[in-house]
Chains A and B, each alone.
Chain A
Amino acid sequence: DAKTTQPPSMDCAEGRAANLPCNHSTISGNEYVYWYRQIHSQGPQYIIHGLKNNETNEMASLIITEDRKSSTLILPHATLRDTAVYYCIAENRDDKIIFGKGTRLHILP
């Protein structure tokens, strides 16, 4: 798997968009970018994934740079329930998902 780098923590005001960055400069052409989050004391939850194109679902949007070396997860209107650890993973489709330390996102009231 390509190594990913994320900031250890971020703050975001409630109601604002939360933009979580991830660097994956060694990503290869067939490695997908996955995002999961883990709310305290719960199992991780799948959010979104993509290969080259930007993706959007009911939870978030994923913006992948043209060179695929970095991506941003966007939570358009953050709520207190979005406080969690967010994991960015570059996963080869022949490999398994390996989690790093993630970004601890604090949503501030």
Chain B
Amino acid sequence: ETGVTQTPRHLVMGMTNKKSLKCEQHLGHNAMYWYKQSAKKPLELMFVYSLEERVENNSVPSRFSPECPNSSHLFLHLHTLQPEDSALYLCASSQDIRNTIYFGEGSWLTVV
């Protein structure tokens, strides 16, 4: 138990669906992250939020839309995804963007 909880753990969605991944951290951290991990590839940093403001967006397609309503919650809204977007999506948090990162267990996404 890392203090970072992701739901759902598994999601199968069609290319025309709209779904959301949710992340909640119980650590009192100020920074939250979304990473993507495709098969046999390194983790890719997607988005970084610090104090609920987005501070990094690594050229992620607009079909991925993050939302950070408060410092404890982070969402990744998904719409019109492609099969190549199937991957493990990892949420993480840290005290601030200069500190040790703690990861959730991830959400396995399959786009059909």
Contact = CB atoms under 8 A, between A and B. Distances in A.
Contacts, number: 40
A45 interface: yes
B101 interface: yes
Contacts of A81: none
A10 interface: no
Residue of B4, B42, B90 contacting most chain A CB atoms (<10 Å): B42
Contacts of B35: 99
Interface in A39-85: 41-46, 49
Contact of B42 (A45, A46, A94, A101): A101
B90 A43 contact: yes
Interface string B28-47: 00000101000000110100
A98 interface: yes
B101 A46 contact: yes
B92 A43 contact: yes
Interface in A1-58: 34, 36, 41-46, 49
B52 interface: no
B106 A42 contact: yes
Summarize A's interface: helix, strand, loop or mixed: loop
Residue of A97, A101, A102 contacting most chain B CB atoms (<10 Å): A97
27 contacts: A34-B100, A36-B101, A41-B106, A42-B105, A43-B2, A43-B4, A43-B92, A43-B103, A43-B104, A43-B105, A44-B101, A44-B103, A45-B2, A45-B103, A46-B100, A46-B102, A49-B100, A93-B98, A96-B45, A96-B48, A97-B45, A97-B101, A98-B45, A99-B35, A99-B42, A100-B42, A101-B42
Interface of B: 2, 4, 33, 35, 42-43, 45, 48, 56, 88, 90, 92, 97-98, 100-106
